[in-house]
Every structure is written in structure tokens, then in C-alpha cells.
Amino acid sequence: MTTETLTFTTDDIDYLRHGNDALRMRLYRPAGAASGAAAAGAPLPVVVDLHGGAWNKNDLTSCAPRDEVLAASGLAVAAIDFRHGAERYPSSLADINYAIRWLKAEAGELGLDAARVGLCGQSSGGHLAMLAAMRPFDARYTAIPLSGNSGVDAPDIDATVRCVGVQWAVINPLSRYRHALRERAAGAAWVNDIPESHDRYWGDEAAMEEGNPLLALERGEAAATPPAFWIQGRPDIVHDYHDPESGGDANEPERFAAAYRAAGGAIEMLYVDKKDASTAAGAYEPLARFFHAHLSD
């Protein structure tokens, strides 16, 4: 079904099935953008957007405020559902990797440019976006074979992206888990069910350590480091905290940025007042400018 506003259209597409369960993609395109192999006009750059929810909650609809701004700016956006919760890590990464490859394979039919793909995500979705961008060839993440509309496998299409933008990513699942447990012991109300959400998705601390963009870089793991953009609201005790086991003074966002730069990547950090972190002017328009800068021809 196609829905149209004054500035963009949306199409809901089942992009992958696991048994009887379909995973959905909501594809936003600027109004007037054509789809189809014979469509006139230049193909659009596309941003794959991943919802947050502590790896357990929410769906692609929670990305809508951000995606509407990105689409209105002239970008195509693909908000996707993916396995999470009790399906456990690395199920989400396998679906995300597949979604990127699927979009590239179907780019001609959808009016998209397979060479101009970015990733975006918020909170746990930011973690997934960064990890997917850093590990596009991980065998666990590439495990779902790709077939296009023709039914022919397309093994030469990969899940590399040009750039990645995140909002207050849970960049170190292990330190955030321990941080939440310490804060719960101190009586902090914000913790809620965060430790249980970690347990349900990750299973144990060893998985939180392995599927960890920050620790992967500090371990010296070979990783892709496309241009990155991090928007962080302050104050934010849930995401912008210090890990006492880190051996340094930086909070986790700056610790990650330092490790990313040391690995050869470029990352821009934008700190905004917490009340502006989920607004068009405070977050979504800067994200749009970042993606336009890095997804241009």
C-alpha cells in the first residue's frame, strides 16, 4: 500500500520471511520520486533506519518522526523491522545485513541508488547500526542468502554502507548492563527493566562483550569505519555515562569516538540539550545534512 503526503510517499514491503513470519520495511521516498526500472530521474540515495527499544521493544513505526524529516529533505529512507528480544543476538544483525543487500539488489525497481546507502539508528538501534556498518562481512551476519525478484542468488552484493548516523547509541552493551545494575542497587528509578532486556537479548556478558562496537575497536578488531555522526542529548544518564572499568576519564560516547578515530574513521559528535534531542531542529535536520553530505554523487 502506498501512502502519500505533500512531501513524501511510503510503501510497506515484506522484505524477508522467517517461516510464516514476515519482516516489514517501510520505504519513504520524496514526493514525486518515481520507482521502477524504467523510471525517469536520478535514483535516490537511501538510509536504512533501525529502531531502538533495548533490543526488545518497538518496531519500525517508532522511526517515523526522524524518517519523515529525512524523506522531506530529499532522501529515501527504509525503516525496517528485525528479529530481536528472545530471538537473541546476532539475529538482528543477520536481518539488517540482509535488508541492506536486498535494497541494493532491488534498487533499480525501487528508484534507489545501490552505491549510496547509509545506516541510521537510535539507542539500541544505534548500536545495531554501528555494528552492522563495522562488520558488513561477518559470516554470522551474512548468513541469510540473498535472492532478488528473479529468484537468482546475488552473492556479489554486500552490506557495506557509505556512512552511519546514530542518536545516543548503546555503544557498549556490557558497560551499560553493569551501569544499570549499579544504578538499580543505588535505587535509581530510570533503570526499570533494562538489565532484564539485556539478559533476554544477549543471554550472557560474553555475548555483550563480543557484539560490542567499542570493545571491538579497543581489541584491535579489523573493522570498516565509514564516516560517522553521533547526536547525544545531555543530560542522559542512560547512554552518556562513565564506565569505571574503562581505565580513562571519558564517558562512553567520547570513549568510542576516540577509538573510532584511532582505527582510522572520521566521526562527528553533536551534543544537544536533552529536550532538543528528538526534534527536527535539534537532531533530524543535522542528520539529514550529514547524510546529504556523504551520500552525494
Q: What does residue 223 show for φ and ψ, rounded to 5 degrees?
A: -145, 145
- pTM strictly above 0.85: yes
- Asked if 82 and 17 count as a contact pair (C-beta separation under 8 A), the reply is no
pLDDT surpassing 90 at residue 192: yes
C-alpha cell at 117: 546507502
Confidence band (pLDDT; 50, 70, 90) for 122?
A: very high
> Amino acid letter at 250?
A
For residues 297 and 287, what is the distance between their CA atoms, to the nearest angstrom? 18
* Residue 5's pLDDT band (cuts 50, 70, 90): low
Q: Write down the pLDDT at residue 152.
A: 52
- Evaluate the omega torsion of the peptide bond into residue 90 and state whether it is cis, within 30 degrees of 0: yes
Q: 204: exposed, middle or buried (C-beta count within 10 Å: 0-12, 13-18, 19+)? A: exposed
Report the mean per-residue pLDDT for the chain.
93
Write the CB contacts of 127 (distance below 8 Å, at least 6 apart in sequence): 55, 121, 166, 169, 170, 171, 173, 213
Third-level CATH fold of 2-294: Rossmann fold (3.40.50)
Tens digit of each residue's pLDDT (9 = 90 or more) over 14-35: 999 999 999 999 999 998 775 5
Q: pLDDT tens, 252-264?
A: 999 999 999 999 9
Element at 231 (helix H, strand E): strand 228-234
Q: What is the DSSP letter of 276?
A: G
Supply the pLDDT for residue 38. Answer: 38
Name the more confident of 135 and 148: 135
Decide if pLDDT at 148 tops 60: no
Q: Are strands 76-80 and 21-30 parallel, antiparallel or unpaired?
A: antiparallel
